[in-house]
Amino acid sequence: MAELITVDDPDDHRLHDYTGLTDVELRRRREPAEGLFIAEGEKVIRRATEAGYTMRSMLLSAKWVEPMRDVIDAARAPVYAVTPDLAERVTGYHVHRGALASMQRKPLPEPAEVLRTARRVVVMEAVNDHTNIGAIFRSAAALGMDAVLLSPDCADPLYRRSVKVSMGAVFAVPYARLDAWPRSLETVRTAGFRLLALTPHEKAVPMDEAAPHRLERVALMLGAEGDGLSARALDTADAWVRIPMAHGVDSLNVGAAAAVAFYAVTTGRPAD
């Protein structure tokens, strides 16, 4: 059973994991280096523990102690009970959900490992907006994509905002990083995947003509908001595909485009 500890000093060193959560650059540096990430809200905390992540500690406002009692009882980590005001002073924002947990990261698998049993894969290039990362992972989980591969400059899926937007879906879909970009895409092709680059370019084939759901193994490539896939990534692809648009609209937000494309890729293949 976890120890429930009341803390009334915002400078208490035991709250170190939770300091400055609104300082994006600080957290980007600290969290991977210290091997942690922050889960926010009851549902996300539960999904993180169910996915096998080890809890380092939990920070709760008093009213969340009882709703989280079963998690507290099962935890082997300290649980700090604080006032909402103290939580805000420590984190830098009003913690609306009243519950935060510092979780231990797991070592990332190698790309070959996540590709071994996958048939439908998402490949992201330079998607560095945490909201978009979270939204794409949520759609990938919901629509039956098997794995996600990230270029070196993609944002951290375990950053608090990404985890929150995904509602914990980042814990459900295996992911890995491709270290050498775009050269590592050859690893994907060698594993038997056809690389389809999603782009609004007029030379791209409409998604329904490409019929990706009929292919044995598909890797769908997505680029960052605005710029889309780089010329190097497009040159590496086996084919360019696009979502047909109406009313003069030329493109969708990458999160929305991903959801539409995932549906097209997985149509006829029930989610596990």
pLDDT of residue 268: 52
Nearest-angstrom CA–CA distance, 242 and 199: 5
pLDDT digits (tens, 9 = 90+) for 165-187: 999 999 999 999 999 999 999 99
pLDDT digits (tens, 9 = 90+) for 113-164: 999 999 999 999 999 999 999 999 999 999 999 999 999 999 999 999 999 9
Distances 224 to 129, 190, 221, 246 between C-alpha atoms, Å:
8, 25, 10, 22
For residue 70, pLDDT over 70 is answered with: yes
Percent of the chain surpassing pLDDT 70 = 97
Calculate ∠ Cα 237-242-246, nearest 5°.
170
CATH class of the domain defined by 4-104: alpha beta
pLDDT digits (tens, 9 = 90+) for 24-51: 999 999 999 999 999 999 999 999 999 9
Which of 156, 185, 191 shows the shortest CA–CA distance to 170? 156
pLDDT of residue 272: 42
Structure tokens belonging to residue 173? 């879909």
Chain mean position to CA 155 = 9
Nearest-angstrom CA–CA distance, 59 and 6: 10
For residue 106, pLDDT over 70 is answered with: yes
The domains of the chain are located at: 4-104, 111-266
For domain 111-266, give its CATH number from 3.30.56.10, 3.40.50.300, 3.40.1280.10, 3.40.50.1010. 3.40.1280.10
